[in-house]
Copies of this chain bind each other. A is one copy, B any other.
Amino acid sequence: MIVNFGSVALDTTRTPFKTAEDVLGGSGTFFGLAASFFHETGLIGVVGDDFPNEYMQLLEDRLDLAGLVVEKGKTFRFDSSFGYDLGTRTTIRTDLNVFGRWEPTVPDEYKDAPYLYLGNIDPEQQLGVLDQMDEPELTVADTIELWINTKKDRLIEVISRVNGVVLNVEEVRQLCQVPNIIKGARTILDWGADFVVVKKGEHGSILFTPETIFPTCGYPLEEIVDPTGAGDAFAGGFMGHLARKGKMTDKAMREAIVYGNVMGSFAVERFSVDRFLELTMEDIEGRYRKYKEMVAF
Partner of A179 from the list B85, B183, B254 (CB cut-off 8 Å) is B85
Size of A's binding interface in residues, CB under 8 A: 34
Are the CB atoms of A216 and B180 closer together than 8 Å? no
Asked whether any CB of chain B lies closer than 8 Å to the CB of A227, the reply is no
Query: Which residue of chain B has the shortest Cβ distance to A201 in the bound complex?
Result: B203
| Contact residues, A256-272 vs B (CB, 8 A) | 257-258
> Closest residue to A83 on the B side, CB-wise?
B179
- Is A251 in the interface zone, CB < 8 Å from B? yes
Within 8 A of B (CB), among A72-98: 84-86
In the complex, how many angstroms separate the beta carbon of A291 from the nearest chain B beta carbon? 9
Tell whether A213 is near chain B: CB-to-CB under 8 Å: yes
Tell whether A137 is near chain B: CB-to-CB under 8 Å. no
Task: Give 7 pairs: A residue, B residue, CB < 8 Å, sorted on A.
Answer: A84-B179, A183-B222, A203-B204, A204-B217, A212-B294, A214-B295, A215-B294
* A contact residues vs B (CB 8 Å cutoff): 84-86, 179-180, 182-183, 200, 203-204, 206, 212-224, 251, 254-255, 257-258, 292, 294-297
